[in-house]
Structure 1
């Protein structure tokens, strides 16, 4: 039961070598067309969203409906093969999405344990705070997901690379 997190450029190679059964793409609307996949549409969720935490003119702010779609898609994954979650660079939107799915699949797990596992696996991970906050509210985590991501501390975006996050804790 593995979530593979990466950037757009790494996705084709990981699809070829790791054969994920499901995929989530989190890109701005203009870039969604670049996210081709051999997976059928019902196993590839494409979400048009910008990597922002506050409203900005001309950009798509993550909202509750987007996070609900992400969580519902994650619930439909049987975990018999990995799920690939990617954004442009594999740093913010994808790590937030994977963190939200891991928390959803593990309702009694310590959010901090999941976040610290992510940090140990990926020094570049910086989950989008708005996606995390929305998931925290939707999952009834009472701020613990937000606090866990804050506890991850600084990140080093220059060292971005694909990584795995267990979906079971």
Structure 2
């Protein structure tokens, strides 16, 4: 990535950026994504930030849980189907920014799902390892991945790839990191 004299990062290749909520405004300013995915619980869902076209902002109101818990909204197959449809409509002319509250679980799952959805036939293990290599804290939400695995007809390979990673580096909040959309192009 090159940096302009103004300090604004210029993506040289198609990238997926993963961020905690606290870094979203800076990420929008620095990487200028054309599309934004927000994965937050219903109480903290944000409006479309300045710099993003509202129709290019997918807002999925889900809690970061992997099973049914009273009064919380688990990521469902419908949410994941919306995510897949949204990223398949991304023109890939500018970066995609994905965030959740901490940038650890829902957002890293969404990035992994995006890689799998847009690179059919590429080994899921490679994408799981890439996500972890770029974000040592990444711990993708297993329920989201399980739904995507079924929707994308991956026969359990996506879930197995995430399980093989084990837990990510322990932290309260992740940091902004980038993943190349096409394997081997960073």
TM-score (norm 1): 0.96
**Pairs within 5 Å for 1:153-168:** 153-158=166-171, 160-168=174-182
| Larger gyration radius, structure 1 or structure 2 | 2
What is the CA–CA distance in structure 1 between the aligned matches of 2:50 and 2:67, rounded to whole Å? 30
Q: Which residue of 2 aligns with 1:6?
A: 19
Shift of 1:35: 6.1
What is the CA–CA distance in structure 2 between the aligned matches of 1:107 and 1:131, rounded to whole Å? 18
**Pairs within 5 Å for 1:57-76:** 57-76=70-89
What is the CA–CA distance in structure 1 between the aligned matches of 2:107 and 2:129, rounded to whole Å? 16
Residue 119 of structure 1 pairs with residue 132 of structure 2: yes
**C-alpha contact 2:17 2:95 (8 A) present in aligned 1:** yes
Q: Which residue of 2 aligns with 1:102?
A: 115
- Paired residues in the alignment total 169
What is the CA–CA distance in structure 1 between the aligned matches of 2:35 and 2:175, rounded to whole Å? 20
Q: Which residue of 2 aligns with 1:40?
A: 53
What is the CA–CA distance in structure 1 between the aligned matches of 2:90 and 2:139, rounded to whole Å? 24
**Larger RCO (alpha carbons 8 Å, 6+ apart):** 1
What is the CA–CA distance in structure 2 between the aligned matches of 1:133 and 1:41, rounded to whole Å? 28
Shift of 1:38: 2.8
Following superposition, which runs of at least 4 residues in structure 1 exceed 6 angstroms of deviation?
A: none
1:28 to 1:37, Cα distance in 2 relative to 1, 3 A: farther
Structure 2's unaligned 5+ residue stretches are 1-13
Q: Which residue of 1 aligns with 2:4?
A: none
**C-alpha contact 2:35 2:57 (8 A) present in aligned 1:** yes
Cα deviation code 1:99-148 (max 9, x no counterpart): 10110001110000011111111110000000000000000000000010
Q: Which residue of 1 aligns with 2:99?
A: 86
**C-alpha contact 1:103 1:114 (8 A) present in aligned 2:** yes
TM-align CA RMSD: 1.2
What is the CA–CA distance in structure 1 between the aligned matches of 2:21 and 2:167, rounded to whole Å? 23
**C-alpha contact 2:129 2:165 (8 A) present in aligned 1:** yes
